[in-house]
């Protein structure tokens, strides 16, 4: 009895394939096999065509024919192990018979490249990442058919490589001579990471303020701080990125307005430096929002910490403003109060 | 904050203007135009200020006096002015503004030299303090959210506007409508000082707010009455002084502070 069941189950499995004979593809069989396996929900029972819900197979077939419209190349790493009948041809040869991928044709190829294209396409994928030969503008001319390529297309290279590098790597837009002359990306963007680090460290000291570093404004440091602030708020469950951006803008404009009105012609604060200063002085607020994740909400500890960090921010901001924008002594209290208001606003976000 | 573009343009104007109504305001414009350009907003500044500066100069100076005048303050002035605003009974001395003849026209001395001159620093700071304190008191109740804070800001601005409209309409009805608009805005903004004080106290003891509101509004009323009297005296013709209608209007202005305080203070 058991032997007969076994044979029947085997035969049933095998009968899966002829059932879907018209569009016989390994991937189809793979899906159907898994579907039937899932359908039965009973792993002790070997799935068979009879156990499967046959009504859904037609829908499945339609879906899979749609999938089959996309050309799929059989990769060498496919782990589809489908039991197949011994007399069936191997999937490899079946695949190559069904799916003859057209050879990749390059528009302008010499004889060597044309010969390369005749090879089976499966081997075209292997040597993709050829290290570029030392860029030699003369080498581009050595292969007049491909002047835009910066790689050395010598004959030796062609013989070892089975295919020309795909056109993705042909740097048709970058002139060969100035690629090394281009400045590094951060320098081009104006982000001086050393300076940002030094400025950040200088803010951490609430007693002594080094104002030379902050003479030139810089928006990348503030950007990092604001992102960190938003991230810590997110960890606390509050999604405040847009609000932080808007409030920083409004606060910096408010400070700029008050400062320039108070000092008139004596002060030289421009909006860019004001933004930069407010952004850098947000560092204590970022630390406060990080610490507040571990402090119980609404307690006295929270308010005490808030007061401490707001005072820190205010002190640093006032000192920097006083030294950079040449604020007089008679206006220091007035400017300090404006700074205090700005940082109180952000502490509101953290505390509540 | 209500006038940030204006104010930033009038930035580099240093010494007190010859005449708060016209003239140096144009200089402030041009001077500020170059500063505006320097800050990187130059393209827009050139477009808005350069081409239409004459139009703006002639029209804006009709409505706004130079805002730089109102920010010439120092620590000592701020302290004394706060005392005057919050406890107007204590102020011994006259309430008139000191005038000086400059360039053939009488103009008022800037706030540094004159305790009775209005300034814009205190109203703006008091308004910002009010908004932040409203945020804190919302947080204590548990209803804080950034949108609620924006709503409080709008409410505060509306209250300021209502106060200014009230003062301006009273002045118009009594014939003193030529007072500078920014003066009235400054006078209207002083109410936020008392309001902030009230909110701070009410954060510690919620019932105390209803005790403080009559006191604060009466203080503000007295302050405004005395100030407006001086304004009217300078603006009006002599035969209309000391009329009973005038007294009733001023009394109304003082009483109207109470609902305003109640409305703005209930966060």
Q: ipTM of this predicted complex?
A: 0.74
Local confidence band at A270 (pLDDT 50, 70, 90 cut-offs): confident
Q: Which two structure tokens, joined as six digits, stand for B261?
A: 């305080």
CB contact under 8 A, B132 and A344: yes
Q: Which two structure tokens, joined as six digits, stand for A303?
A: 């308010």
- A352 vs B contacts (CB less than 8 Å): 135, 138-139, 144
Percent over 70 (pLDDT), chain A: 51
CB contact under 8 A, B39 and A334: no
Cβ-nearest to A257 among B4, B41, B74: B4
For B132, the closest chain A residue by CA position comes to A345
Taking phi over 0 as left and psi of -120 to 50 as alpha, with beta for the rest, A108 belongs to beta
**Is the minimum CB–CB distance between A219 and chain B shorter than 8 Å?**
no
Lowest mean pLDDT among A52-66, A337-351, B214-228: A52-66
- Quick one: pLDDT at residue A198? 87
The Cα B69–Cα B183 span in angstroms is 11
Query: Chain-wide mean pLDDT for chain A?
Result: 70
Cβ-nearest to B136 among A265, A334, A348: A348
Query: Which residues 226-255 in chain A show a CB within 8 A of chain B?
Result: 240, 243, 247, 253-254
Best of B2, B8, B11 to disrupt the A interface by mutation (most A CBs within 10 Å)? B11
**Is the minimum CB–CB distance between A169 and chain B shorter than 8 Å?**
no
pTM (global) more than 0.80: no
**Is the minimum CB–CB distance between A265 and chain B shorter than 8 Å?**
yes
User: B72-118 pLDDT, tens per residue?
Assistant: 888 888 888 888 888 888 777 777 777 777 777 777 788 888 888 88
Cβ-nearest to B14 among A254, A264, A338: A264
Lowest mean pLDDT among A303-312, B225-234, B238-247: B238-247
- Quick one: pLDDT at residue A83? 54
Q: Residue A309: pLDDT above 50?
A: yes
- Quick one: pLDDT at residue B228? 78
- Å between A334 CA and nearest CA of chain B: 7
Q: What is the mean pLDDT of residues A324-334?
A: 80
Q: What is the C-alpha R_g of chain B?
A: 20
Taking phi over 0 as left and psi of -120 to 50 as alpha, with beta for the rest, B242 belongs to left
Local confidence band at A117 (pLDDT 50, 70, 90 cut-offs): very low
Local confidence band at A3 (pLDDT 50, 70, 90 cut-offs): low
Q: Which two structure tokens, joined as six digits, stand for B240?
A: 């209309």
Q: What is the mean pLDDT of residues B177-190?
A: 83
Q: What is the mean pLDDT of residues A83-112?
A: 58
CB contact under 8 A, A272 and B136: no
CB contact under 8 A, B4 and A337: no
Query: Beta strand B99-102 with B105-108: parallel, antiparallel or unpaired?
Result: antiparallel
User: A310-320 pLDDT, tens per residue?
Assistant: 999 999 998 88
Angle, helix B257-265 to helix B191-204, in steps of 10 degrees:
50
Q: What is the mean pLDDT of residues B32-38?
A: 47
- Quick one: pLDDT at residue B15? 43
The Cα B136–Cα B149 span in angstroms is 10
Q: Which residue has the tokens 């700074």?
A: A339
Alpha-carbon A352 to chain mean position:
33
Cβ-nearest to A351 among B14, B129, B139: B139
Percent over 90 (pLDDT), chain A: 23
What are the E-state strand segments in chain B?
99-102, 105-108
């Amino acid at each position: 009895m058991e032997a007969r069941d076994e044979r029947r189950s085997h035969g049933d499995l095998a009968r899966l394939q002829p059932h879907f004979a018209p569009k016989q593809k390994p991937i189809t069989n793979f899906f159907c096999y898994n579907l039937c396996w899932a359908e039965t929900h009973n792993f002790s029972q070997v799935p068979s065509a009879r156990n499967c819900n046959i009504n859904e197979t037609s829908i499945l077939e339609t879906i899979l024919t749609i999938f089959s419209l996309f050309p799929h190349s059989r990769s060498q790493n496919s782990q589809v192990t489908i039991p197949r009948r011994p007399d069936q041809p191997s999937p490899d040869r079946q695949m190559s018979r069904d799916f003859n991928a057209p050879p990749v044709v390059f528009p302008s190829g010499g004889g060597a490249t044309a010969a390369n294209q005749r090879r089976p396409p499966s081997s075209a994928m292997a040597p993709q990442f050829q290290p570029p030969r030392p860029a030699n503008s003369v080498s581009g001319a050595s292969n007049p058919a491909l002047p835009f390529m910066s790689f050395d297309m010598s004959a030796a290279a062609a013989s070892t490589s089975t295919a020309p590098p795909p056109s993705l790597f042909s740097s048709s837009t970058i002139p060969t001579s100035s690629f090394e002359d281009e400045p590094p990306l951060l320098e081009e963007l104006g982000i001086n990471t050393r300076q940002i680090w030094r400025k950040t460290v200088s803010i951490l000291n609430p007693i002594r303020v080094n104002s030379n570093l902050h003479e030139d404004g810089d928006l990348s440091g503030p950007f990092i701080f604001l992102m960190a602030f938003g991230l810590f708020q997110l960890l606390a469950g509050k999604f405040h990125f847009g609000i932080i951006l808007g409030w920083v803008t409004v606060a910096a404009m408010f400070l700029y307005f008050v400062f320039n009105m108070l000092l008139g012609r004596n002060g030289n604060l421009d909006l860019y430096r004001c933004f930069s200063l407010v952004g850098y002085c947000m560092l204590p607020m970022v630390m406060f929002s990080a610490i507040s994740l571990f402090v119980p909400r609404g307690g006295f500890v929270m308010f005490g910490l808030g007061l401490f960090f707001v005072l820190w921010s205010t002190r640093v901001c006032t000192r920097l403003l006083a030294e950079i924008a040449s604020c007089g002594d008679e206006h220091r209290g007035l400017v300090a109060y404006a700074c205090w208001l700005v940082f109180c606003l952000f502490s509101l976000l953290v505390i509540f | 904050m209500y006038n940030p573009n204006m104010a930033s343009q009038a930035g580099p104007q240093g010494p007190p203007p010859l005449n708060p109504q016209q003239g140096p305001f144009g200089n402030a414009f041009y001077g500020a135009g170059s500063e505006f350009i320097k800050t990187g907003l130059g393209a827009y500044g050139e477009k808005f200020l350069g081409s239409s500066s004459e139009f703006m100069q002639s029209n804006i100076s009709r409505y706004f006096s130079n805002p730089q005048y109102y920010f010439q303050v120092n620590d000592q002035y701020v302290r004394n002015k706060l005392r005057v605003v919050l406890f107007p009974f204590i102020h011994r001395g006259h309430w008139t503004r000191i005038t000086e003849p400059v360039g053939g026209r009488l103009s008022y001395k800037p706030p540094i030299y004159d305790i009775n001159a209005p300034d814009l620093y205190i109203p703006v700071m008091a308004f910002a303090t009010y908004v932040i304190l409203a945020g804190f008191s919302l947080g204590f109740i548990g209803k804080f959210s950034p949108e609620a804070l924006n709503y409080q800001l709008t409410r505060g601005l509306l209250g300021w506007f209502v106060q200014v409209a009230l003062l301006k309409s009273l002045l118009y009805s009594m014939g003193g409508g030529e007072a500078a608009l920014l003066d009235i805005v400054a006078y209207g903004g002083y109410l936020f000082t008392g309001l902030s004080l009230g909110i701070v106290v009410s954060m510690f003891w919620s019932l105390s707010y209803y005790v403080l509101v009559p006191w604060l509004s009466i203080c503000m009323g007295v302050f405004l009455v005395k100030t407006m009297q001086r304004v009217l005296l300078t603006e009006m013709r002599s035969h209309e002084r000391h009329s009973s209608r005038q007294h009733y209007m001023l009394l109304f202005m003082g009483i109207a502070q109470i609902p305003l305080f109640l409305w703005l203070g209930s966060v």
